[in-house]
């Protein structure tokens, strides 16, 4: 069975993330969307909320499992019986950051492979931080996030 792990904070999930999940799920028997608990960040949504939003947003993709984790990514990936990490890229700046990160992961664990998937052009301007800012100031996030997550995001960030 070919398994891949797509890690991220997904705070919140966007249609750009969903695009990457849908495309990556066609390449593997199982795609694990792994929500990372970063102790250095204060997320807008709890781990449980992010997992629930991702489960709802990916319910139409039969070979996706959503999970949460903390600790080293390489340890988590090994625990899932794989060595493949999926990372989405929007722009050259993403590539520079992700490339350095992939090289460090390779140095820590030489069997790990990072697969980069370019976002579809319609989603290249979407980021979780941009979504949060739009929602905070009352801007419309319709079409930028999964329908199943839109109300939760607006209610949390706009205080509605």
Residue ranges of the annotated binding site for ATP are 9-10, 17, 88-90, 98, 123-129
Q: Which one of 41, 46, 120, 140 is the catalytic residue?
A: 41
Binding region: 9-10, 17, 41, 73, 87-90, 98, 123-129
Q: Please identify which residue in the block is written with the tokens 């319609």.
A: 122
60 is catalytic: no
To the query of whether residue 25 is one of the catalytic residues in this protein, the response is no
Verify whether residue 2 is a known catalytic residue. Answer: no
Catalytic annotation, pick one of 25, 50, 128, 132: 128
Report the binding-site residues for substrate.
Answer: 9, 41, 73, 87
Instruction: From the candidates 23, 65, 90, 156, give the one annotated as an active-site residue.
Output: 90
What residues are labeled active site? Answer: 17, 41, 90, 128
């Amino acid at each position: 069975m070919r398994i891949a792990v797509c890690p991220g904070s997904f705070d919140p999930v966007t249609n750009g993330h969903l695009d990457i999940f849908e495309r990556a799920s066609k390449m593997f028997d199982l795609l694990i969307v792994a929500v990372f608990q970063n102790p250095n960040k204060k997320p807008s949504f709890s781990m449980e909320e992010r997992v629930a939003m991702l489960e709802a947003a990916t319910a139409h993709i039969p070979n996706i499992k959503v999970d949460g984790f903390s600790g080293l990514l390489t340890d988590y990936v090994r625990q899932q019986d794989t060595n493949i990490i999926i990372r989405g890229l929007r722009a050259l700046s993403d590539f520079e950051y992700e490339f350095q990160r992939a090289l460090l992961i390779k140095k820590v664990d030489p069997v790990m492979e990072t697969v980069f998937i370019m976002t579809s052009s319609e989603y290249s301007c979407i980021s979780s931080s941009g979504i949060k800012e739009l929602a905070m100031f009352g801007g419309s996030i319709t079409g930028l996030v999964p329908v199943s997550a839109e109300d939760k995001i607006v209610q949390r960030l706009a205080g509605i």
